[in-house]
């Protein structure tokens, strides 16, 4: 109840000021726009906005960035449904059924169930966040550097082993991120590391340059090299826009199930929205009525409603570890963490005591943002469809100009443009050879934090490495980490063996 009290007395009082409402609206609008545009994701947009938000007060800036993150999930479904090109990773599954529905002239109901489902899931997930976050934060207060370090190891293992097809590739991406995070002055000893005598590297590689390089430059190089021949066709918005009675009846259960799948996945460090959307899709496929089951693959509304709810709930879920533990579990959350750092605010259990207006204002703005997004995405969907008509070459040209500008504006130096290009080529190679980029971004941001906690744990315990196993909470976390690493290959081997004997 205390949290409800804080939400209403502090949170809404902060979020409902005209300035913060405006930031929320700006964030939601921008988020929807970039969600709609194929090729631009929330991570790159949040990174692009980092330098711009430096002069804005932290609460307003974070409200806007959260709106972008959120809005991208709403907007992404529009692109999946109408263009069959997912606007972002969480919308891949909605493209399966949603685009079929659009081809059959049912684009309206598909868009509606996606938007209303996102709203329902986002709202329920925000209630869960409101109730859970303070409890988890007070628990997290008891965690010392030993437990925090173990938690970070769990995050590393989960983002690299669970995402993508190959754990090895995930680990290489993670190691590359950790390596980049080492560059520059090391905080505790003041020694510079891996600067190769180059002065601009002393401050380290900026997350803005990394995000732009990987997501904007890398993506553009890949599209130019491999995807020029692919032409998308926009489905028209003909037919009834509203959901029929049977559409509602078939949608509400998937919305709730999607929320139940998505939220926990967001809170655990398994990174991102792809996994819960896929799980939700296969759950709906199994649970649908026999008549609806026949529609799967041809445009079943359950296959849009569930995954769309799941991806929004997962996004809200990622805010739980970010706000209470200071641990990001997705690329966008990692970049938001660096937004906090930019204001010298450390997200974590103390945040609820040190910056209550900011935390509760941010949480309250999620409720408001959800309503804004429903309005932005349902009645105004026709406006966003116009965005899909921007020719792809010009769209990528614009993204690249913005990315180079973001990198250049950091220090007015060509050196950052050089780094941007080098990281862009790395992003191209990672895309070409199927390496996930999330572990890299998480490694870059969390790596230096992990090192700090490790050295702190060592100095408290006089260099005794066994503390990680003798502290019970740390031991449990490390056992879970080991399970994440060892179970999937063992299960796969067992399956392969069973397949052979059959």
What are the respective helix, strand and coil percentages of the chain, to the nearest 5? 75, 0, 20
Q: How far apart are CA 184 and CA 193, in angstroms?
A: 5
Among the listed residues 402, 475, 480, 485, the single contact to another protein using CB under 8 A: 402
227: CB partners within 8 A, 6+ apart: none
Residues 131 to 170 in contact with another protein, rule: CB under 8 A: 166, 168-169
Residues 25 to 44 in contact with another protein, rule: CB under 8 A: none
Task: State the nearest-atom distance from the C-beta of 187 to another protein, in Å.
Answer: 9
Mask for 378-397, x = binds another protein (CB under 8 A) = -------------xxxx-xx
Residues 416 to 455 in contact with another protein, rule: CB under 8 A: 417-418, 420-421, 424-425, 428-429, 432-434, 451, 454-455
Mask for 456-475, x = binds another protein (CB under 8 A) = --xx-xxx------------
Q: Which is nearer to another protein, 238 or 429 (CB)?
A: 429
Q: Look up tokens 């572990």; give the residue.
A: 439
Under DSSP, is residue 368 helix (H, G, I), strand (E, B) or coil? helix
Q: Is 485 in the site for another protein (CB under 8 A)?
A: no
Residue 235 tokens, joined = 């489905």
Task: State the nearest-atom distance from the C-beta of 434 to another protein, in Å.
Answer: 8
Burial class (CB in 10 A: 0-12, 13-18, 19+), 264: middle
Q: Provide the CA 205 distance to its chain's centre, in angstroms.
A: 21
Task: State the nearest-atom distance from the C-beta of 418 to another protein, in Å.
Answer: 6
Q: Is 119 in the site for another protein (CB under 8 A)?
A: no
Q: Is 486 in the site for another protein (CB under 8 A)?
A: no
Residues 211 to 240 in contact with another protein, rule: CB under 8 A: 217, 220-221, 223-229
Q: Which is nearer to another protein, 15 or 146 (CB)?
A: 146
Residues 318 to 377 in contact with another protein, rule: CB under 8 A: none
Assign residue 364 a region (left: φ > 0; alpha: ψ between -120 and 50; beta: otherwise): alpha
Under DSSP, is residue 192 helix (H, G, I), strand (E, B) or coil? strand
The span from the first CA to the last CA of the chain, in angstroms, equals 56
Task: State the nearest-atom distance from the C-beta of 142 to another protein, in Å.
Answer: 23
Q: Is 83 in the site for another protein (CB under 8 A)?
A: no
Q: How far apart are CA 36 and CA 97, in angstroms?
A: 18
Q: Is 401 in the site for another protein (CB under 8 A)?
A: yes
Q: How far apart are CA 247 and CA 301, in angstroms?
A: 7
Candidates 13-21, 87-95, 293-301, 399-407 — which segment interacts with another protein by CB under 8 A?
A: 399-407
Q: Which is nearer to another protein, 184 or 264 (CB)?
A: 184
Burial class (CB in 10 A: 0-12, 13-18, 19+), 76: buried
Residues 166 to 205 in contact with another protein, rule: CB under 8 A: 166, 168-169, 171-172, 175-176, 178-179, 182, 186, 188-189, 191, 193-194, 196
Q: Which is nearer to another protein, 294 or 411 (CB)?
A: 411
Q: How far apart are CA 438 and CA 458, in angstroms?
A: 29
Task: State the nearest-atom distance from the C-beta of 168 to another protein, in Å.
Answer: 6
Q: Is 253 in the site for another protein (CB under 8 A)?
A: no
Binding residues for another protein, rule CB under 8 A, total: 72
8 A C-beta contact, residue 136 and residue 245: no
Among the listed residues 135, 198, 380, 409, the single contact to another protein using CB under 8 A: 409
Q: Is 8 in the site for another protein (CB under 8 A)?
A: no
Helices (H), 212-301: 218-226, 245-267, 274-287, 290-295
Q: How far apart are CA 257 and CA 280, in angstroms?
A: 7
């Amino acid at each position: 109840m205390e949290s409800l009290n804080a939400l209403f007395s502090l949170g809404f009082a902060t979020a409902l000021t005209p300035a913060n409402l405006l930031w929320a609206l700006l964030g939601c609008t921008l988020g929807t726009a970039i969600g709609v545009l194929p090729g631009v994701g929330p991570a790159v947009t949040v990174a692009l906005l980092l330098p711009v938000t430096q002069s804005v007060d932290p609460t307003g800036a974070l409200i806007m960035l959260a709106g972008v993150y959120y809005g991208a999930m709403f907007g992404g479904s529009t692109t999946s449904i109408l263009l069959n090109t997912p606007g972002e990773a969480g919308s891949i599954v909605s493209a399966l059924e949603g685009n079929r529905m659009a081809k059959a002239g049912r684009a309206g109901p598909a868009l509606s169930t996606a938007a209303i489902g996102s709203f329902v899931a986002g709202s329920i997930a925000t209630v869960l966040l409101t109730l859970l976050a303070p409890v988890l934060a007070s628990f997290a207060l008891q965690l010392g550097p030993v437990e925090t370090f173990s938690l970070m190891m769990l995050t590393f293992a989960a983002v690299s082993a669970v995402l993508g097809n190959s754990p090895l590739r995930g680990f290489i991406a993670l190691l590359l991120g950790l390596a980049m995070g080492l560059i520059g002055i090391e905080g505790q000893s003041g020694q510079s590391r891996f600067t190769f005598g180059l002065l601009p590297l002393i401050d380290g590689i900026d997350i803005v340059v990394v995000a732009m390089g990987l997501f904007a430059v890398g993506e553009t190089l890949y599209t130019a090299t491999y995807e020029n021949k692919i032409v998308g066709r926009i489905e028209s918005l003909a037919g009834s826009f509203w959901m029929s009675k049977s559409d509602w009846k078939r949608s509400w259960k998937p919305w709730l199930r999607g929320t139940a799948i998505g939220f926990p996945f967001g809170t655990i460090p398994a990174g991102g929205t792809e996994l819960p959307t896929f799980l939700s899709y296969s759950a709906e496929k199994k649970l649908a009525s026999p008549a609806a089951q026949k529609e799967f693959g041809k445009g079943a509304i359950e296959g849009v409603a569930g995954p769309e709810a799941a991806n929004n709930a997962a996004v809200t879920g990622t805010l739980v570890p970010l706000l209470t533990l200071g641990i990001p579990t997705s690329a966008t959350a990692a970049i938001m963490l660096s937004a906090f750092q930019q204001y010298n605010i450390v997200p974590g259990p103390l945040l609820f005591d040190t910056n209550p207006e900011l935390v509760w204002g941010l949480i309250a703005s999620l409720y408001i943002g959800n309503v804004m997004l429903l309005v932005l995405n349902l009645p105004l969907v026709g406006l966003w469809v116009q965005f899909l008509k921007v020719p792809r070459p010009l769209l990528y040209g614009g993204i690249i100009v913005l990315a180079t500008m973001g990198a250049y504006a950091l220090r007015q130096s060509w050196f950052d443009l050089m780094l941007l290009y080098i990281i862009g080529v790395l992003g191209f190679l990672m895309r070409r050879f199927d390496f996930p980029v999330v572990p890299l971004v998480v490694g870059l941001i969390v790596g230096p934090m992990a090192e700090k906690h490790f050295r702190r744990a060592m100095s408290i315990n006089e260099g005794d490495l066994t503390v990680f196993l003798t502290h019970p909470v740390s031991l449990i976390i490390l056992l879970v980490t080991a399970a994440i690493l060892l179970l999937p290959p063992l299960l796969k081997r067992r399956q392969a063996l069973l397949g052979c004997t059959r």
